[in-house]
């Protein structure tokens, strides 16, 4: 009897698990780029850019979509090539480096004496049927005097049109929305830096 049961277990097609085809996840880069590079102005300060924190559920790689009823869902087979906070931080670092507002944009652990610190948190990165949204908070701190002093804080938002259906166009629109949020930060920084003097 035991032998018969063992033979039955070896027969093909006896699996109790349902057969589902393997679907490979599509991965998209989150790499908004500034169109041009400005040379750093003479005497431009050094900036320490701290690691970007993740807002609620934004540490996952899945693309976040907004349904018509306003609820969010995560695409099952579409994701970012890197966790959104890491990709957004890299994009922000490159954007600020190319803005010309700073002589260098450094990372935590640098040996350079940086008086300015920028702290950020990714708050939103999602696409609806017609519009994509990206948002992050920014806190600019002057630490050059020994006592940290807040120069300014803001929530930067960017939007971009979703030009058609599908995850590829949604991912492209979210990257464009992040670029617009980065541009909004760049536009506010000169006034904040002026308050340092």
- 């869902």: which residue's tokens? 73
* Spatial CA neighbour of 124 closest among 54, 26, 28: 54
Range from 1-15, 103-117, 178-192 that averages highest in pLDDT: 178-192
- pLDDT of res. 23: 72
Average confidence score pLDDT of the chain? 88
Lowest-pLDDT range of 61-65, 89-93, 110-114, 154-158: 110-114
- pLDDT of res. 30: 95
What is the distance of C-alpha 126 from the center of its chain? 11
Q: How confident is the model at residue 13 (pLDDT cuts 50, 70, 90)?
A: low
Q: What is the CATH number of domain 40-194?
A: 3.40.50.10610
pLDDT digits (tens, 9 = 90+) for 172-190: 999 999 999 999 999 999 9
Q: What is the mean pLDDT of residues 143-151?
A: 85
**Residues with Cβ within 8 Å of residue 130, at least 6 apart in sequence:** 161, 162
pLDDT digits (tens, 9 = 90+) for 51-61: 999 988 888 89
Q: What is the DSSP letter of 31?
A: -
Q: Is the pLDDT of residue 109 over 90?
A: no
Beta carbons within 10 angstroms of residue 121's beta carbon: 17
Lookup: tokens for 2: 């035991």
Q: 3-state DSSP call for residue 77?
A: strand
- pLDDT of res. 18: 59
Q: How confident is the model at residue 193 (pLDDT cuts 50, 70, 90)?
A: confident
pLDDT digits (tens, 9 = 90+) for 45-87: 999 999 999 988 888 899 999 988 889 899 889 999 999 999 9
To 10 degrees, what angle do helices 84-99 and 167-194 make? 50
């Amino acid at each position: 009897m035991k032998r018969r049961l063992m033979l039955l277990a070896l027969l093909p097609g006896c699996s109790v698990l349902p057969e589902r085809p393997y679907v490979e996840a599509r991965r998209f880069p989150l790499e908004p780029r500034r169109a041009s590079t400005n040379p750093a102005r003479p005497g431009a300060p050094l900036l320490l850019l701290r690691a970007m924190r993740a807002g609620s559920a934004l540490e996952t790689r899945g693309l976040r979509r907004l349904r018509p009823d306003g609820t969010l869902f995560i695409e099952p087979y579409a994701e970012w090539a890197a966790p959104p906070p890491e990709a957004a931080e890299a994009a922000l670092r490159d954007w600020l480096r190319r803005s010309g507002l700073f002589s260098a944009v450094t990372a935590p652990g640098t040996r350079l004496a940086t008086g300015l610190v920028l702290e950020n948190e990714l708050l939103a990165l999602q696409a609806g049927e017609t519009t994509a949204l990206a948002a992050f908070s920014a806190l600019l701190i002057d630490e050059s005097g020994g006592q940290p002093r807040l120069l300014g804080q803001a929530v930067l938002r960017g939007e971009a049109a979703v030009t058609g259906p599908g995850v590829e166009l949604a991912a492209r629109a979210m990257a464009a929305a992040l670029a617009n949020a980065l541009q909004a930060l760049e536009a506010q920084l000169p006034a904040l830096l002026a308050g340092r003097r």
